[in-house]
Amino acid sequence: MYSQTEILKEPEINSSNSAEGELVINIGPQHPATHGVLHLVVTLNGETVKKVEPHLGYIHRSIEKMCESLSYRQFIYVTSRMDYLSAHVNNHACAMTVEKAMQIEVPTRAQYIRVIMDELTRIASHELWWGALAMDLGAFTPFFYAFRERETINDIMEQTCGARLTMNYMVPGGVMADIHPSFQQKVKDFIKLFKSNIDEYDELVTGSVIFQSRMKGVGCLSKEDAISYGCTGPVARGSGVHCDIRKIYPYEIYKQVEFNEIIETAGDSFSRYLVRIKEMKESIKIIEQLIDNIPEGDYQAKTKAVLKLPKGEFYTRVETARGELGVYIVSEGGTTPYRIKFRSPGFSNLSALDHMVRGSKIGDLMATMGTLDLVIPDIDR
Amino acid sequence: MFLKEYLSDIYHATKSLLTGMKRTGYYFVHPKEIITEQYPDNRETLKMADRFRGEVIMPHDANNEHACTGCTACELACPNATIKIITKFDVTPEGKKKKALDTFVYHLELCTMCNLCVEACPTDAIKMGQNFEHSVYDRSMLLKKLNKPGSKIREGVE
Amino acid sequence: MFSLQGITSGIQSFLHARFSASGVLIFESLIVILLATTLFALLGLVLVWMERKVAAQMQIRLGPNRVGPMGIFQTSADTLKLILKEGLTPDGADKLLFNLAPFVVMVVAMLLLAPIAFAKGFQVWDINIGVLYITAVSSLSVIGILMAGWASNNKYSLLGAMRSGAQIVSYELSAGLSILTIVVLTGSLQLGDIINAQQNGWWLFKGHIPVIIAFVIFIIAATAETNRAPFDMAEAESELTAGFHTEYSGMKFALFFLAEYINIFIVCAIAATLFLGGWMPLHIGNWQGFNHLMDYIPSSIWFFAKTFALIFLIMWFRWTFPRLRVDQLLNLEWKYLLPISLFNLLLVTVIAILGWHF
């Protein structure tokens, strides 16, 4: 027998039932500021936001269910389509889970390449976020400056991985192909370009009095709330939570590289902004340490053509550009997973939005949403 | 004291805004920094990265021979059922029957360019081509037959 | 020296010789209507193209470059597309107000054209309360925006219109006070007098620091009044999609778009007239030779050069700054611009009374 489920009525959504003077407005699914098909049902009182209800599901592709019918080599490519801005890191997490389950030793060269690629992805993702945030605030020009640098990373990716966005470069046991002969030189060129251009970002946006007044003291999230909402990544670190997976559960060769976990304590939009800007610089630091020291050796461990995971449950987590991504695989011992669950950072970060923007203005809602760095396919999967 | 703060506020605000304007002004008077690539015009000089994954192709040599044995490893590796291999039986001069490729069907419209088929191929019969201009008016034109008509397997490829 | 003054007086005497006084008026009105419409169409095309080119250069892009050389016919092609598009009226909209609103905004922009002197002796109407007329008529455009926002039956439009109302009403104040500084210095409301008073130097140079402050405040207020970034609260495309013109399409949208650019032209023309001497060439004190050389440049070129320089400045703002929040926008006006301009007006009055200006 099916248990009876009551279909919950949501009286607040219906504008006729709302309180006097309140205006219910649908921001999205098509709206310039939601960067995708996010639907926010916002209750307004004049300009003041009373309540924000995110409605999800517009880009649900049931990736988790799809993965159940794909082999352990095949399912990795699908995860590029979740958080497409950190596709490498998603693939990395999946590959790591399979390696953990099968106890495959990844060659050091592959580990170096993976970490460099992850950090390049992180910079590319933060670049896009920076441009999009400025665009949310009404400044269009930074977007193009950000894309200029991002384009260089995309070119590097294209040359080594063969694709610009959905690379599918990680395979269980290493990486799909060795780095391109000119990879190191190109990355060094990029670092030079990035270092000369990062000051422009400060001139144009960070230092601007309009930007600061739009960001400071807006969308505050306390440390306790950040933890209780399950926020991760720059959102939580902006509130002073020590949560960088690269530091607390180091994977690959993160233990050997020197870098700082960026933590800001103010908890407002500006501190989240600063965390990401500083994280880009830290990523450059990591790449600089690794790029000249890539050891010789295999780029891929020898694996069987058909991968079979032992029976059991496996979980790994990595730090994507948005926060903690967890991959949970239940295996029955066959060639395909019995169940896969992805813990996506965007979903938890979005859940804190309502708490952060209550009582502030519509403009603040957009600014706060911009600093959450939402990628909608990551939330819906 | 209040007035001093008020005035310094105004000074710093104006200064920060002027710094931003200096940056955009710099680019306005430096057209050399323009990064636009005028795509259809630069088709002659446009060089795609040699690993760029645009489509699956099957290289044929001068004798119209390919290296595909029809083993269906790529078909199995493909996550989207992009590849369908139809095999036939050739009769060798010794009178033995031998499995061979009849048609290599490639659904470009289903392909996500994940490179798994190329990785799986034991004889390097297929590889990724750099052509990315795939737009056509009819979806059925995306269904491709990769082995050329009359082609046969290269000698010595098992 | 080429001058438009000869042409206008020639036409006037030609008409007076042949028709009665009322006939002359009708003919002159027809000529003005023709000229104004042509100017509007031309300005719209040129300014939109200019904005796109300026934006592109600042954003390290090329901008329009396909239709015609440097893409100069891009805007004409866009206009053609907009004319051919269907102008939808949404269900539940107040049909009369919805369709009237773009025209109200447009007519206000056209009315503002009347007292502007485009060149020496080339002015539709040198009304003796010219400055008052401008401040009075320019605040009418908010009615068109409010009408559009209210009649659209769309929450975004309504919010945008309300923001626009609050904004324009506030910024009118400091714009008006900045204009007053020049009126105090000149002692006349007539634009012709104001321009003539700048024969031996523009007010921006003659009036010491207070006039520079007034000029800066006027530019800020003008940007706000025309709903341009960083004060584009009424449109705020990342917040309200397109604000008050969310529901407009086709030519009705184009009229709003055109009116925005015409308004920019007009406020810049006013700023150029009040602070930079309008069509008056650059004269420095008693450098006779230099002044004489400057006189050779036609007055219309002076006027348009100054106006377009200011338009460029406003475009520069738009492509550099993020948008302000609505409460910060009002804070800026009431806490900074208004007190400063009040104090500034006092200073200018003292300067004018004591005759300290040059």
Confidence check: pLDDT of C1 > 50:
no
Q: pLDDT confidence of C2, banded at 50, 70, 90?
A: low
ipTM of the shown complex: 0.82
Residue ranges covered by each domain of chain B: 2-35, 55-153
Q: pLDDT confidence of A4, banded at 50, 70, 90?
A: low
Whether residues A252 and A127 share a domain: the answer is yes
A161/B51 CB distance under 8 A:
yes
| pLDDT tens digits along C179-199 | 888 888 888 888 888 887 777
How many structural domains compose chain A?
2
Q: Is residue A5 part of a domain?
A: no
Q: What is the pTM of this model?
A: 0.86
Min Cα–Cα distance to chain C from A164, Å: 21
Neighbours, chain B (3 or more CB pairs < 8 A): A, C
Interface of A with C (CB under 8 A): 23, 25, 31-33, 44, 47, 134-141, 143-145, 148, 204-205, 208, 210-211, 213-214, 361-366
B19 shares contact with chain C (CB less than 8 Å): no
CB C27 within 8 A of CB C36: no
Least CB-CB distance to C239: which of A143, A211, A363? A363
* Average pLDDT for chain A: 85
Whether residues A341 and A219 share a domain: the answer is yes
List b or e across A56-71, with b for residues whose CB sees 16 or more CB atoms inside 10 angstroms: bebbeeebbebbeebb
Least CB-CB distance to C62: which of B23, B24, B36? B36
Q: How far apart are CA A37 and CA A58, in angstroms?
A: 6
| pLDDT tens digits along A137-157 | 888 888 888 888 888 898 888
Min Cα–Cα distance to chain C from B135, Å: 22
Least CB-CB distance to C62: which of B21, B27, B34? B34
Q: Write down the pLDDT at residue A9.
A: 55
A200/B116 CB distance under 8 A:
no
Which residues in chain C are closer than 8 Å to A139, comparing Cβ atoms? Answer: 229, 320-323
What is the 8-class DSSP label of residue A16?
G
Q: Is residue A10 part of a domain?
A: no
Mean pLDDT of C92-101: 84
Whether residues A264 and A374 share a domain: the answer is yes
Whether residues A51 and A170 share a domain: the answer is no
C59/A210 CB distance under 8 A:
no
Q: How far apart are CA C226 and CA C262, in angstroms?
A: 9
Closest chain A CA to residue C242: A32
Q: Write down the pLDDT at residue A1.
A: 43
Q: How far apart are CA C197 and CA C195, in angstroms?
A: 5
- Whether a cis peptide bond, with omega within 30° of 0, leads into A29 is yes
A180/B51 CB distance under 8 A:
yes
C232/A138 CB distance under 8 A:
yes
Straight-line distance from the first to the last Cα atom of chain B, in angstroms, rounded to the nearest whole number: 90
Which residues in chain B are closer than 8 Å to C57, comparing Cβ atoms? Answer: 27-28, 31, 34
B64 shares contact with chain A (CB less than 8 Å): no
Give the least confident one: A164-173, B137-146, C14-23, C344-353. Answer: C14-23
A209/B113 CB distance under 8 A:
no
B-C Cβ pairs (cutoff 8 Å, strict): 36
Segments forming the whole domain that contains residue A198: 63-380
Mean pLDDT of C54-80: 86
Which residues in chain C are closer than 8 Å to B23, comparing Cβ atoms? Answer: 320
Whether residues A256 and A362 share a domain: the answer is yes
Confidence check: pLDDT of C124 > 80:
no
Q: Is residue A9 part of a domain?
A: no
Whether residues A145 and A43 share a domain: the answer is no
Whether residues A85 and A202 share a domain: the answer is yes
Confidence check: pLDDT of C3 > 80:
no
Whether residues A191 and A307 share a domain: the answer is yes
Which residues in chain A are closer than 8 Å to B120, comparing Cβ atoms? Answer: 305
Which residues in chain C are closer than 8 Å to B34, comparing Cβ atoms? Answer: 57, 60-62
Confidence check: pLDDT of A302 > 70:
yes
Q: How far apart are CA C211 and CA C178, in angstroms?
A: 8
Closest chain A CA to residue C62: A144
Residue B98 to residues A111, B87, B152, C238: CA-CA distances in angstroms? 43, 10, 13, 65
User: CA torsion A306→A254→A77→A30, rounded to 10°?
Assistant: 160
Least CB-CB distance to B12: which of A161, A176, A209? A209
Q: Write down the pLDDT at residue B137.
A: 92
Q: Write down the pLDDT at residue C117.
A: 78
Whether residues A310 and A204 share a domain: the answer is yes
A208/B52 CB distance under 8 A:
no
Min Cα–Cα distance to chain A from B123, Å: 15
**CB neighbourhood size of A285 (10 A):** 16
Write out residues 63-122 of B within 8 Å (CB-CB) of C. Answer: none
Mean pLDDT of C211-218: 87
Confidence check: pLDDT of A15 > 50:
no
Mean pLDDT of C14-28: 78
Neighbours, chain A (3 or more CB pairs < 8 A): B, C
Q: Is residue A263 part of a domain?
A: yes
Whether residues A201 and A298 share a domain: the answer is yes
* Average pLDDT for chain C: 82
Whether residues A165 and A207 share a domain: the answer is yes
| pLDDT tens digits along B19-45 | 888 888 888 888 888 888 888 888 888
Mean pLDDT of A302-313: 84
| pLDDT tens digits along C259-310 | 888 888 888 888 888 888 777 777 776 677 777 777 777 778 888 888 899 9
Mean pLDDT of B65-93: 84
Mean pLDDT of A6-28: 63
> Residue by residue, what is the 3-state secondary structure of chain C?
CCCHHHHHHHHHHHHHHHCCHHHHHHHHHHHHHHHHHHHHHHHHHHHHHHHHHHHHHHCCCCCCCCCCHHHCCHHHHHHHHHHHCCCCCCCCCCHHHHHHHHHHHHHHHHHCCCCCEEECCEECCCCCCHHHHHHHHHCCHHHHHHHHHHHCCCHHHHHHHHHHHHHHHHHHHHHHHHHHHHHHHHCCCCHHHHHHCCCCCCHHHHCHHHHHHHHHHHHHHHHHHCCCCCCCCCCCHHHHCCHHHCCCCHHHHHHHHHHHHHHHHHHHHHHHHHHHCCCCCCCCCCCHHHHHHHHCCCHHHHHHHHHHHHHHHHHHHHCCCCCCCHHHHHHHHHHHHHHHHHHHHHHHHHHHHHCCCC
Pick the CATH number of B55-153 from 3.30.70.3270, 3.30.2310.20, 3.20.20.70, 3.10.180.10: 3.30.70.3270
Q: Is residue A123 part of a domain?
A: yes
**Could you give the percent of chain A with pLDDT greater than 70?**
95
